[in-house]
Amino acid sequence: MSAGTLITLLSNSQLVEASVSVQPIERIYKLILPKSVAGSVIEHIRREYPIEACGALFGYVTGGLCSITKTVPLRNILASSTSFWFDVREWMQVIIDAGKAGMEYIGLYHSHARDEPLPSLSDRHRMMECPGECWLIVAYKPGYPTKFAAYRVDDYGSSITSIPIVSDF
């Protein structure tokens, strides 16, 4: 789906049409992740562990600098400790609701129950489906340091690019 695509969803027995972007308008070169936002992501991951937790990222992008201001948890419909995906209707509804509130969709976050926040092969394939999105991966394993990393794929011919994270945590 590309930026500005018109979608129709059936929401609570009502037909909802909205023009939404499923990728940030500007390319992201640096991610600002406030301690409060990182904390809400970690809380969600702890609740779901060992299942991979996932959710949507919202904020704004100015001059390649992305500030994450809100996250919205999504249900991992695979209920797996090694992979994740979500209900696409739930995901689109979250994006529509955030857009109505004036927030820009930035991308996704999810957890890995291992030492390093590196994209799996499945992650890499999924990232290709929505070029430009930021993927925040969190390595969480009780007794080990929690680590964050962010990535993006710019288009179908691009490799994965690591995005530096600036945070106060």
| Nearest one of 148, 142, 152 to 168, comparing CA atoms | 148
Mean pLDDT of 138-150: 96
* Cα angle: 34, vertex 96, 129; to 5 degrees: 80
| Nearest one of 165, 109, 111, 98 to 134, comparing CA atoms | 109
- What domains sit in the chain, N to C, each tagged with a CATH number? 22-167 (3.40.140.10)
7-21, 34-48, 128-142, range with the lowest pLDDT: 7-21
Give the C-alpha separation, 136 to 112, whole Å. 11
9-23, 36-50, 135-149, range with the lowest pLDDT: 9-23
Q: Are 130 and 56 in contact (CB under 8 A)?
A: no
Q: Which two tokens stand for residue 144?
A: 């080990």
Mean pLDDT of 127-141: 93
Give the C-alpha separation, 88 to 9, whole Å. 10
pLDDT digits (tens, 9 = 90+) for 33-59: 999 999 999 999 999 999 999 999 999
Task: Assign 24 a pLDDT band (cuts: 50, 70, 90).
Answer: low
Q: SS3 of 66, please? A: strand
